């Protein structure tokens, strides 16, 4: 695992001057991922915020080979490139060791691109898929997606007298990918850079598919001050709304346990998309219960006892 000083000396493979919003987490995530991956990498990117802001013709912010795809097929494209690479390497036409990374937002991962991602995982391609999860279709007007959390307000599930925000709980994409029994699956946050970089390095070392789901706060869609992106990401982790864990060769590990698990209100109260929770405390209560339920399930999968003695020893 490289130190922060060592990482600071590596070339930044996403050039400055792109058109991302100030405070955009997606570009922070990309920079951290590529610092871990290095230059011997081919990147594919699904249509979405990240593609739009980094590759407005005739410019590109990418300092590595890059392919833009439609919303639904980045996993298919990158898996095809990986298959072609393996063929050329067997023929002796390529000698370099290369990594292959696909980036997609939650819309292109949880929803539109799920079939291509599942197929690539099932076929066993040696590639890393990174989802930058900003929990809505931010690029096209902040519509709800399968990743939008319960109660959140979007342009297609407004909070009003008829609909109190999104009425469904968000899809657990990380566990869906773990169910494919691929070599490596993990959840990460840009607020915990060391954890994220270590997971990227581990994922790229595997002889098969890997998946990394990274929370990507969006100040436009979540409605918070743009300078608070990393703070919001950290609170998501400390409330266990977004737990950090990995499934390494089928073994579940929680990679970060908050010293003090914060109430979900610490996360929701800082965002305009949950402002209506003040008038509807029952929504916050229901959301908190779901966070607690998923955390208990994760502890069980990781083999952590829920007994008072063991819980006290961890604290």
Mean predicted confidence (pLDDT) in 240-244: 98
Average pLDDT, the chain: 95
CA–CA distance, 199 with 188 (Å, rounded to integer): 8
Residue 134 main-chain phi, psi, to 5 deg: -100, 10
Using alpha carbons, select from 196, 276, 201 the residue that is nearest to residue 233. 196
Q: Per-residue pLDDT for 312 more than 70?
A: no
User: 4-148+174-257: CATH homologous superfamily?
Assistant: Thiamin diphosphate (ThDP)-binding fold, Pyr/PP domains (3.40.50.970)
Q: What is the pLDDT of residues 89-101, one digit of tens each?
A: 999 999 999 999 9
CA distance 50 to 20: 8
Question: Which has the minimum average pLDDT: 159-163, 223-227, 262-266, 305-309?
Answer: 305-309
pLDDT of residue 305: 65
Reading the block at residue 46, the tokens are 């699904």
Above 90 in pLDDT, residue 297?
yes
Q: Is 154 helix (H, G, I), strand (E, B) or coil?
A: coil
What percent of the chain shows pLDDT beyond 90? 92
- Could you tell me the maximum CA-CA distance found in the chain, to the nearest angstrom? 66
Q: Tell me what the mean pLDDT of segment 12-41 comes to.
A: 96
pTM: 0.95
What is the radius of gyration, based on Cα positions, of the chain? 19
Asked whether residue 314 carries a pLDDT value surpassing 60, the answer given is no
Give the three-class secondary structure for 275. Answer: helix
Contact residues for 69 (Cβ-Cβ < 8 A; gap 6+)? 44, 45, 46, 47, 76, 77
The 10s digit of each residue's pLDDT in 135-179 is: 999 999 999 999 999 999 999 999 998 899 999 999 999 999 999
For the cut 60, the answer to whether the pLDDT of residue 307 exceeds it is no
Q: What is the model's pLDDT at position 306?
A: 55
Number of other CB atoms surrounding residue 90 within 10 Å:
9
Look at residue 288 and give its three-state secondary structure: helix
Q: What is the pLDDT of residue 269?
A: 98
Whole-number pLDDT of residue 131: 98
d(CA 201, CA 2): 10
Ordered by start, the domain boundaries in the chain are 4-148+174-257
């Amino acid at each position: 695992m490289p130190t922060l000083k060592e990482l600071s000396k590596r070339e930044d493979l996403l050039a400055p001057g792109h058109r991302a919003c100030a405070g955009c987490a997606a570009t922070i995530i990309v920079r951290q991922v590529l610092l871990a991956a290095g230059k011997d990498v081919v990147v594919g990117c699904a249509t979405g915020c990240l593609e739009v802001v980094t590759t407005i013709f005739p410019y590109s912010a990418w300092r590595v080979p890059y392919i833009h795809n439609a919303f639904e097929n980045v996993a298919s494209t990158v898996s095809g490139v990986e298959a072609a690479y393996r063929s050329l390497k067997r023929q002796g036409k390529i000698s370099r060791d290369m990594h292959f990374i696909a980036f997609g937002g939650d819309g292109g991962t949880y929803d539109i691109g799920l079939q291509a991602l599942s197929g690539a995982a099932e076929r066993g391609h040696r590639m890393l898929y990174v989802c930058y999860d900003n929990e809505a279709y931010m690029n096209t007007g902040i519509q709800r997606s399968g990743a939008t959390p319960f109660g959140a307000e979007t342009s297609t599930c407004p909070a009003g007298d008829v609909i109190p925000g999104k009425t469904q709980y968000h899809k657990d994409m990380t566990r869906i990918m773990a169910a494919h029994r691929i070599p490596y699956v993990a959840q990460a946050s840009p607020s915990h850079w060391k954890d994220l970089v270590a997971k990227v390095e581990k994922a790229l070392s595997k002889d098969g598919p890997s998946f990394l789901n990274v929370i990507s706060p969006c100040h436009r869609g979540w409605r918070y001050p743009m300078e608070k992106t990393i703070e919001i990401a950290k609170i998501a982790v400390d409330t266990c709304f977004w737990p950090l864990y990995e499934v390494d060769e089928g073994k579940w590990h929680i990679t970060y346990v908050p010293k003090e698990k914060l109430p979900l209100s610490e996360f929701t109260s800082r965002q305009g998309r949950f402002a209506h929770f003040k008038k509807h405390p029952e929504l916050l209560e229901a959301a908190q219960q779901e966070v607690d339920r998923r955390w208990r399930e994760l502890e069980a999968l990781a083999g952590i006892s829920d007994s008072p003695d063991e819980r006290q020893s961890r604290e």
